[in-house]
Amino acid sequence: MTPIQEDGQEYSPPGYQRPFEDQVELIVSFPADSGIEPLYLVFQKRAGGAGEGESDKMSMLSADDLMEVEPASSELIEAISRKRYVVIAQPGSEELRMLDYFGAEASVGGVDNTHILLRENPSKAAVLEEFLHGTQAKLGITDRLGTSGLGSAETHVKDFMINHKKMLNLSNEDVQILQILRDKGL
């Protein structure tokens, strides 16, 4: 999905960063009458492979999958929906297939990370993290730190959430999972 000029030549417009080899590009389109522009997303390929044990993999599919992880309340999702465009991935949808492919509970994309995609019954921590990625984009943090690996916007947002766990009212289980993901650069 490299940008193409009208004359058919590849080019890199301002702000376009070619994905690294360990990343996957994806375009998510919405129904024509939704008024939502297609989202261009770049994801880190899921960890895993030969010689890697199941304990080395970390993926949160929903709050139902993890005991004691607090699910996001309908009030939280509604409040975030006032500031961001939120889609709950439905069974059989392209959105759910994308989340399944990446082993993700939630994802954010679009201009300034204002479009949030969630599984049904997402965890509170996942919803807050995706919302905060939009704030990072507005502040220029994402552009400055990048989107993947240690020291990236991913680890930055998790550090913020861990450091402000009381303000965000995160459970010990939520914090423990955030620490594991942060330490893996996810």
Mean pLDDT of 23-50: 58
Q: Choose between 6 and 100: higher pLDDT.
A: 100
Question: Does residue 161 contact residue 128 with C-beta atoms inside 8 Å?
Answer: yes
141 belongs to a structural domain: yes
Strand 85-88 relative to strand 115-118, pairing: parallel
148 belongs to a structural domain: yes
Alpha-carbon span 95 to 91, nearest angstrom? 9
145 belongs to a structural domain: yes
7 belongs to a structural domain: no
120 belongs to a structural domain: yes
Tens digit of each residue's pLDDT (9 = 90 or more) over 95-141: 998 898 888 899 998 888 889 999 999 999 999 999 999 999 999 99
89 belongs to a structural domain: yes
Q: Measured between alpha carbons, how far apart are the two ends of the chain, in Å? A: 23
pLDDT at 36: 65
Alpha-carbon span 72 to 89, nearest angstrom? 15
pLDDT at 63: 44
Domain count, the chain: 1
> Would you say residue 156 has pLDDT above 70?
yes
Per-residue burial over 88-117, b if 16 or more Cβ lie within 10 Å, else e, is ebeeeeebbebbeebebbbbbbbeebbbbb
Tokens describing residue 108 = 């954010």
> Would you say residue 19 has pLDDT above 60?
no
Tens digit of each residue's pLDDT (9 = 90 or more) over 52-103: 433 333 444 444 444 468 899 999 999 999 999 999 999 999 899 889 888 8
What is the span of the domain harbouring residue 28? Answer: 23-44+58-183
69 belongs to a structural domain: yes
Q: Is the dihedral of CA 118, 139, 58, 69 positive or negative?
A: negative
65 belongs to a structural domain: yes
